[in-house]
Amino acid sequence: MDWKIALDTVWVLVAGMLVFFMNLGFGLVESGFARAKNTVNIISKNFIVFAVSSVAFLIIGWGLMYGDGNPFFGTQGLFMLGGADNSPAVGDAYTGVYSALSWTGVPLLAKFFFQLVFAGTAATIVSGAVAERIKYGSFMVFSFVLVALVYPVVGHWIWGGGWLAGLGFWDFAGSTVVHSVGAWAALAGVLVLGPRIGKFGKDGKARAIPGHNMTSAMTGALILWLGWFGFNPGSTMAADPGAISHIVVTTNMAAAAGALAATALAWVVLGKPDIGMTINGALGGLVGITAGCAFVSVGSSLIIGGIAGAIVVGGVLLLDRVKIDDPVGALAVHGMGGIFGTLAVGLFAQDAIAPGTTGDGLFFGGGFGLLGAQATGVVAVAAAVFGVSLVVWLAIKATLGVRVSEEEELEGLDIGEHGNRAYPDFVQTETVA
């Protein structure tokens, strides 16, 4: 019995299950921040998206991302995990076609499961930003394309041994690969859809559309925080005691700092410690530390999380100012948090923490090299994902349509899209404040 392989595998699978559980977190946060009349639609989107992602990633996503090929996408072992593979052999002993992951000594299916739940996370990020006005079927179609093609190609550049990795770009657990990708895809969707009816008044000012269940939102937020204890430390894909302990702490401290910074900022700027801002601050801190959790010190993680939490507060207000309607703050948390987290590696990385990987960032004497690579990656991924997503959304708009009718939007998507009500016992009215 090879104990190392067994322990590593158990760790990877348990961590993967925690990340899977984040789908529940997203569903609770999103439905909590949205109106009661759309609850069934939002929880349906968050449920079905993992099913869609599972199939898409199996059919071709995994192969494009991790198959050997060229610097831009995989070309071998593309379909149905069919490529030659002798995992858990590592390093030179590995002879299969998924070499980009030959450094981790776990079976192929464990690698697949772990990477699948990450792909699913990117897809579920989109569902929050497009909530309360998107057609269910159109969302499913977009999610399939995202997980089958867009996410894997970009992922290949960074984790699949592609050109960005070659440039010295580092993203340990996915501030860019998962969170920014989801956010850019979501932004394209939000722009194609337009804002919810009543979100912006005749004077152009943003109006509050209060969420219907703050308990749900907070429950979801803590589930996400817990899930991140799989997301970040799990990315070692090995039960390496020192590394996973370090990462769990940097992850937690960033979340804590993000929550506190956002709360303080909301208190000062808006007058009260708004729970929505606190939640999004914690999530922003988590997204912000995701790229660098293995490369930065615990002290740095507090700073990174705090800055990310503050950015999220500013981001939510800014998006309202420029008339972009994001019901849950996904663009601020995953987009702005993702960009900052990626760049933060270029500032805060310390070679001593993960020797032979990132080298030192700007603040630790490493100069601008790492930061430059990080910035290149941020821009390249933004352009590619936003551009391709825009085309896909427009194609869906031209064929299936993307937005529900005005009547349906006013009545609630639960009836229009699903013929169900989430709360049939209650009179379901609400006014756009």
Burial class (CB in 10 A: 0-12, 13-18, 19+), 140: middle
Q: Which stretch binds another protein (CB under 8 A): 59-67, 316-324, 326-334, 424-432?
A: 424-432
The amino acid at 102: S
- Based on the shown chain and the rule CB under 8 A, indicate whether residue 208 belongs to the binding site for another protein: no
Calpha distance 242→262 (Å, rounded): 30
Q: Distance between CA atoms of 151 and 24, rounded to whole angstroms?
A: 21
Q: Is 214 in the site for another protein (CB under 8 A)?
A: no
* Cβ proximity to another protein, 6 vs 197, nearer residue: 197
- Distance CA(216)–CA(7), nearest Å, equals 35
Does 394 engage in binding with another protein (CB under 8 A)?
no
430 counts as binding another protein under rule CB under 8 A: yes
Site string for another protein, 319-358 (x = CB under 8 A): ----------------------------------------
41 binds another protein (CB under 8 A): no
The stretch among 60-68, 86-94, 375-383, 421-429 that binds another protein (CB under 8 A) is 421-429
User: Least separation, in Å, of the C-beta of 320 and another protein?
Assistant: 18
Residue type, 156: H
Query: Hunting for tokens 């020192």 — which residue is that?
Result: 242
Number of chain residues interacting with another protein (CB under 8 A): 15
Task: Please choose, out of 114-122, 162-170, 172-180, 416-424, the segment that lies near another protein by the rule CB under 8 A.
Answer: 416-424
Decide: is 55 part of the binding site for another protein (CB under 8 A): no
Structure tokens at 384: 């590619």
DSSP per residue, 181-239: HHHHHHHHHHHHH-PPTTSB-TTS-B-----S-HHHHHHHHHHHHHHHHHHTGGGG-S-
CB of 212 to another protein, least distance (A): 13
Give the range of 25-33, 157-165, 225-233, 422-430 binding another protein by CB under 8 A. 422-430
> Is the Cα dihedral 187, 191, 197, 201 positive or negative?
positive
From candidates 421, 422, 423, 425, binder to another protein by CB under 8 A? 421
Q: Which sign does the torsion angle of CA 231, 236, 241, 245 carry?
A: negative
Dihedral sign of CA atoms 406, 411, 412, 413 in order: negative
Beta carbon of residue 413, minimum distance to another protein (angstroms, whole number): 13
According to CB under 8 A, which one of 419, 422, 423, 425 is a site residue for another protein?
A: 419
Determine which residue in the list 415, 417, 423, 425 makes contact with another protein, applying CB under 8 A. Answer: 415
Rounded to an integer, what distance in angstroms lies between the CA atom of residue 72 and that of residue 161?
9
Closest approach of another protein to the CB of residue 415, in Å: 6
Residue 119's alpha-carbon distances to 33, 144, 146, 173, 372, in angstroms, are 23, 11, 9, 12, 26
Greatest CA span in the chain, whole angstroms? 70
Report, in Å, the least distance between residue 430 CB and another protein: 7
Q: Which is nearer to another protein, 397 or 421 (CB)?
A: 421
* Cβ(296)–Cβ(272) below 8 Å: no
User: Using a CB cutoff of 8 Å and minimum separation of 24, what contacts does 267-273 make?
Assistant: 269/313, 269/317
Alpha-carbon gap, residue 325 to 319, rounded angstroms: 7
Q: Which residue in 75, 245, 357, 420 binds another protein (CB under 8 A)? A: 420
For residue 73 the two structure tokens come to 């996408």
Q: 357 or 420: whose CB is closer to another protein?
A: 420
Query: What is the contact mask toward another protein in residues 149 to 188, using x (rule: CB under 8 A)?
Result: ----------------------------------------
Instruction: Tell me if 432 contacts another protein by CB under 8 A.
Output: yes
State how far the Cα of 182 lies from the Cα of 195, in Å rounded to an integer.
19
Q: Does residue 88 have a cis peptide bond before it, meaning omega lies within 30 degrees of 0?
A: yes
- Using CB under 8 A as the binding rule, whether residue 428 contacts another protein is answered as yes
Contact with another protein (CB under 8 A): which of 198, 365, 367, 401? 198
Residues that bind another protein (CB under 8 A): 197-198, 407, 410, 415, 419-421, 427-433
